[in-house]
Structure 1
Amino acid sequence: MAAEAGVSRQCLSRWVNRYRSSGDAGLLDRSSAPHSSPSQTPDEVVELIESWRREHKWSARTIAAELTHRGHRVSVATVGRWLVRLGINRRRDLDPSGASNRRPERITARYPGHMVHLDVKKVGRIPDGGGWRAHGRGSDADRAAQRAKAKKKGGAKAGYVYLHSAVDGFSRLAYTEHLTDETAKTTIGFFHRARAFFAAHGIVRITRLVTDNGANYRAGAFVRTATAFASRHQRTRPYTPRHNGKAERYQRTLAEELLYARVWTSEGQRARAIQVWNIHYNYHRAHTAAGDQPPASRLHQTVTNVTTRNI
Structure 2
Amino acid sequence: MNLHQNALFGPRGRERMVRCVVDRGWSIRATARACDVDPKVVRRWVRRFQEAGPAGLLDRSSRPRRQPRRTPRRCQRQVVALRRQRWTMDRIARFVGVSRASVSRILRREGLNRLAALEPVEPPRRYEHEHPGDLLHLDIKKLARFRHPGHRRTGVRAKDSIGVGYEYVHVAIDDRSRIAFSEIHPAERARDAIAHLEAAVRYYATLGITIRRVLTDNGPCYHARAFSQACRRLGIRHRRTRPYTPRTNGKAERFIQTALREWAYAFTYATSKERKNHLPRWIHDYNWHRPHGSLNQQPPISILGLPEDNLVRLHT
Q: TM-score, normalised by structure 2?
A: 0.66
Shift of 1:228: 3.0
| Alignment partners' CA distance in 1, 2:296 and 2:312 | 22
CA-to-aligned-CA distance 1:181-209 (integer Å, 9 cap, x gap): 211111111110101111112211323x1
Q: Secondary structure at the match of 2:171?
A: strand
Q: Which has the higher contact order (CA 8 A, sep 6+)?
A: 1
**Matching residue of 2:143:** 123
Q: Secondary structure at the match of 1:13?
A: coil
Runs of at least 5 residues in structure 1 that lack an aligned partner in the other structure: 1-11, 54-59, 90-101, 150-157
Q: 2:216 aligns with which of 211, 225, 232?
A: 211
| Alignment partners' CA distance in 2, 1:73 and 1:131 | 49
Q: TM-score, normalised by structure 1?
A: 0.67
CA 1:203 to 1:26, structure 2 compared with 1: closer, same or farther past 3 Å?
Answer: farther
Runs of at least 5 residues in structure 2 that lack an aligned partner in the other structure: 1-6, 19-48
Report if the CA contact (8 A) 2:14-2:57 is conserved: no
CA-to-aligned-CA distance 1:72-108 (integer Å, 9 cap, x gap): 99989x799788546469xxxxxxxxxxxx8653233
Superposition RMSD in Å: 4.2
Q: Which has the larger radius of gyration?
A: 2
**Matching residue of 1:143:** 159
Aligned residues: 259
Identity of aligned residues (%): 32
CA 1:169 to 1:31, structure 2 compared with 1: closer, same or farther past 3 Å?
Answer: farther
Report if the CA contact (8 A) 2:263-2:282 is conserved: yes
Report if the CA contact (8 A) 2:216-2:239 is conserved: yes
Shift >6 Å, 4+ stretches: 27-32, 38-41, 47-50, 64-76, 78-83
| Alignment partners' CA distance in 2, 1:201 and 1:30 | 62
Shift of 1:43: 6.5
Report if the CA contact (8 A) 2:82-2:92 is conserved: no
**Matching residue of 1:18:** 14
- The question of 1:197 aligning with 2:192 is answered no
| Alignment partners' CA distance in 1, 2:171 and 2:58 | 42
| Alignment partners' CA distance in 1, 2:302 and 2:252 | 19
Shift of 1:179: 2.0
Deviates more, 1:299-308 or 1:287-296: 299-308
| Alignment partners' CA distance in 2, 1:125 and 1:272 | 13
